[in-house]
Structure 1
Amino acid sequence: MIAGNPSFASYLVRAGTSRKISGLDAYFKRWDEAYKDPQGTLQQALQRYPSYPGHDEQALLIQAFKWLGRSDPQAAHDLLAQLPNSWRINSDEQAEIARVFALKAAYTRMPQAYNWLMALPASVQDKETRTWTARAALRVQDWARLKVAIKAMPVDLSQTPQWQYWLARADAELGKNLEAKARWQALVHTPDYYGLLAADRLGIAYPWPKIPPLPTMDTRAVEKNPTVQLAFYLHAAGLTDDARRAFLSALKEIPREQIPALTLLAEQSKWHDRVSIAIARMKKQDDPHWFAARFPTPWESTVDAQAKAQGIASNWLYGVIRRESLFMSDVGSGAGAQGLMQLMPNTARWINHKADLGLTTMNLHDPTTSITLGAAYLSYLKDKFNGQLPLAIAAYNAGPGRVRQWLPEDRNLPGDVWVDTILFDETRNYVRAVLSATMIYAWRESKERESNKSSQNTDNLLSLLTPVQASNPTTLSSVKPAATVVAERVAGN
Structure 2
Amino acid sequence: MRFVLLVIASCFFAMPFTQAATIEQQRDWFTQAHRALDAHHMDRYATLKKKLADYPLSPYLDIWEQRKAISGKNDAEIAATLELFPDIPESDDLRKAWVKSLAERSKWKEVANQLEHHPRLKSKLAELAIVAEWHSGNQEHAMTEFSKRWVNLDKFSGTSISMHKAWLRQGHPTSEERWSRIIKLAGKGHWRDIEALDGPMSKQQKKWLHYWRNLQKNPQSAFARWPSSLSPSSPVYTALSQAMISDGLTRLARKDPLQAYAMLQQLQTRMPFDSSDGFYDEVAKEIALRAARQHMTVAAGWLEQLPDRQKSAETRAWQARMYMLDYDWAKLLQFIEAMPTEEQQEDRWQYWRGYALQARGDNEKANAIFAAVANGRGYYSFLGAERMGLPYSFDNEQIAASPAMIRELEQRSGVIRAREWLALKSYSKADREWYAALAAANPDEWKAAAVIASAWEWPEQAIRAAYRAGAMNALEERFPLHYQKDVLLAAKETGLSPASIWGVIRQESLFNRQALSPAGARGLMQLMPKTAKMVAKKIRLHGGHEALFSPRVNIRLGSHYLADMKARFYDQLALAAAAYNAGPHRVKQWLERTPFDTGEIWVETIPFNETRHYVQQVMANATVYEWRQQQAPTRKFPVQAIVEPSQITLNSPDLL
Q: Which amino acid aligns with 1:116?
A: W
Residue in structure 2 matched with residue 441 of structure 1 by the alignment = 625
2:569 alignment partner in structure 1: 385
Mapped contact 2:402–2:448 kept (Cα < 8 A): no
Offset of 1:83 from its aligned partner?
A: 5.1
Shift of residue 415, structure 1, vs aligned partner: 0.8
- 1:228 partnered with 2:415: yes
Aligned twin of 1:172: 358
On the 8 A contact 1:409/1:472 being kept in 2, the answer is no
Give the Cα–Cα distance (whole angstroms) in 1 for the partners of residues 514 and 344 of structure 2. 39
**Residue 338 of structure 2 is aligned to residue 155 of structure 1:** no
1-structure distance, mates of 2:442, 2:231: 64
Q: Which of 437, 453, 456 pairs up with 1:266?
A: 453
Change (3 A) 1:306 1:432: same
Question: How far apart, CA to CA, are the structure 1 residues paired with 2:563 and 2:600?
Answer: 22
Offset of 1:66 from its aligned partner? 2.9
2:331 counterpart residue number: 145
Distance 1:350 1:368, change over 3 A: same
CA–CA distance in 1 between the matches of 2:213 and 2:436?
49
In the alignment, does 2:520 pair up with 1:336?
yes
Task: Measure how far apart 1:381 and its partner are.
Answer: 1.2
* TM-score (normalizing by structure 1): 0.84
Assess if the C-alpha contact under 8 Å between 2:329 and 2:360 holds in 1: yes
Residues 57 and 471 of structure 1: CA distance in aligned 2, closer, same or farther (over 3 Å)? farther
SS at match of 2:246: helix
Q: Structure 1 pair 63/217, CA: closer, same or farther in 2 (3 Å)?
A: same
Whole-Å separation in 2 of the counterparts to 1:250 and 1:53: 56
Alpha-carbon contact 1:52-1:86 (below 8 Å) kept: no
CA displacement, residues 236-281 of structure 1 (integer Å, 9 cap, x when unaligned): 2322111111111222234443221222111111111100111111
Cα deviation digits, residues 80-134 of structure 1 (max 9, x gap): 4345757433443332232122111112222211111111111211222112212
Counterpart AA for 1:433: Q
Do the aligned partners of residues 10 and 36 (structure 1) sit closer, same or farther apart at CA in structure 2, a change above 3 Å counting? farther
Question: What is the rounded CA distance, in whole Å, between the counterparts of 1:84 and 1:368 in structure 2?
Answer: 59
Whole-angstrom CA distance in 2 between matches of 1:366 and 1:189: 39
SS in 1 for 2:525: coil
Matching residue of 2:220: 39
Quote the Cα distance in structure 2 between the aligned partners of 1:73 and 1:63. 18
Classify 1:181/1:338 alpha carbon distance in 2 versus 1 (closer, same or farther; 3 Å).
Answer: same
Structure-2 residue corresponding to 1:406: 590
Cα distance, 1:75–1:461 mapped onto 2, change above 3 Å: closer
Pairwise CA RMSD? 2.9
Amino acid at match of 2:220: Q
Letter in 2 for 1:31: W
Deviations 1:398-451 (A, max 9, x none): 1111111111437543111111111111111111111111111111111xxxxx
1-structure distance, mates of 2:438, 2:225: 61
Distance in 2, Cα, partners of 1:418 & 1:84: 35
Choose which of 21, 27, 44 in structure 1 pairs with 2:208.
27
**Alpha-carbon offset, residue 352 of structure 1:** 1.8
For the residues of structure 2 that align with 1:57 and 1:39, how far apart are their CA atoms?
A: 22
- For the pair shown, the structure with the greater C-alpha radius of gyration is 2
TM-score w.r.t. the length of structure 2 is 0.64
CA distance in 1, matches of 2:410, 2:566: 46
Which region of structure 1 is more displaced relative to structure 2, 274-283 or 17-26? 17-26
| Deviation string, structure 1 residues 322-356 (Cα, Å, up to 9, x no partner) | 111222222222211111111112111211222x3
Contact kept in structure 2, 1:118 and 1:133, CA below 8 Å: yes
* Structure 2 letter corresponding to 1:461: K
CA contact (8 A) 2:524 2:549 kept: yes
Q: Which amino acid aligns with 2:247?
A: W
Letter of the structure 1 residue corresponding to residue 634 of structure 2: D
SS at match of 1:461: coil
Letter of the 2:531 partner, please give it: T
State the SS of the aligned residue for 1:252: coil
Q: Sort the Cα spacing of 1:249 and 1:115 in 2 relative to 1 into closer, same or farther, 3 A.
A: same
Task: Give the drift of 1:30.
Answer: 3.5
The structural deviation recorded for 1:396 is 0.9
Residues 1:437 and 1:151: Cα distance change in structure 2 (over 3 Å): same
The percent of aligned pairs where both chains have the same amino acid is 31
Change (3 A) 1:125 1:220: same
How far apart, in 2, do the equivalents of 1:390 and 1:276 lie? 24
The gaps in structure 2 that reach 5 residues or longer are: 1-179, 648-656
Number of aligned residue pairs? 457
**Using a 3 Å threshold, how does the CA distance of structure 1 residues 441 and 89 change in structure 2: closer, same or farther?**
same
Note if contact 1:13-1:25 (Cα within 8 Å) is conserved in structure 2.
no
Partner of 1:77, secondary structure, is: helix
What pairs with 1:210-289 in structure 2 (closer than 5 Å)? 210-212=396-398, 217-218=403-404, 219-285=406-472, 287=473
- Once the two structures are superposed, residues 284-331 of structure 1 have per-residue CA deviations (whole angstroms, 9 ceiling, x without a partner) of 21x2xx222211112212211220121111111111111112222222
Q: For 1:169-227, what per-residue CA distance to the aligned partner results, in whole angstroms no more than 9, with x for missing partners?
A: 11111122222222222212222111111111111111122555866632222223222
Match of 2:63 in 1: none
Distance in 2, Cα, partners of 1:8 & 1:348? 32
1:325–1:342: 8 Å Cα contact kept in structure 2? yes
For 2:355 and 2:183, the matched residues in 1 are separated by 42
How big is each residue's C-alpha offset from its partner over 1:455-481, in whole Å with a ceiling of 9 and x where there is no partner?
Answer: 44x423343x868655369xxxxxxxx
Q: Does 1:299 pair with 2:483?
A: yes
1: CA distance, partners of 2:512 / 2:629: 22
Q: Return closer, same or farther for 1:233/1:472 CA change in 2, 3 Å cut-off.
A: closer
Tell me the amino acid that sits aligned with residue 450 of structure 2. Answer: T
Name the stretch that deviates more: 156-165 or 199-208. Answer: 156-165
Q: Distance in 2 between matches of 1:345 and 1:79?
A: 43
Deviates more, 1:235-244 or 1:36-45: 36-45
Partners in 2 of 1:422 and 1:304 — Cα distance?
Answer: 31
Higher relative contact order (CA 8 A, sep 6+): 1
Letter in 1 for 2:420: Y
Residues of 2 paired with 1:315 and 1:167: CA distance? 30
Cα distance in 2 between the residues matched to 1:85 and 1:22: 28
Residues 365-408 of structure 1: per-residue CA shift (max 9 Å, x gap): 11111111112111111111121111111111111111111114
Q: Does 2:299 correspond to 1:113?
A: yes
Residues 21-42 of structure 1: CA distance to partner in whole angstroms, max 9, x if unpaired?
3453233223333443433343
2:313 to 127, 132, 140: 127
Partner of 2:289: 103
Please state if 1:312 is matched with 2:493: no
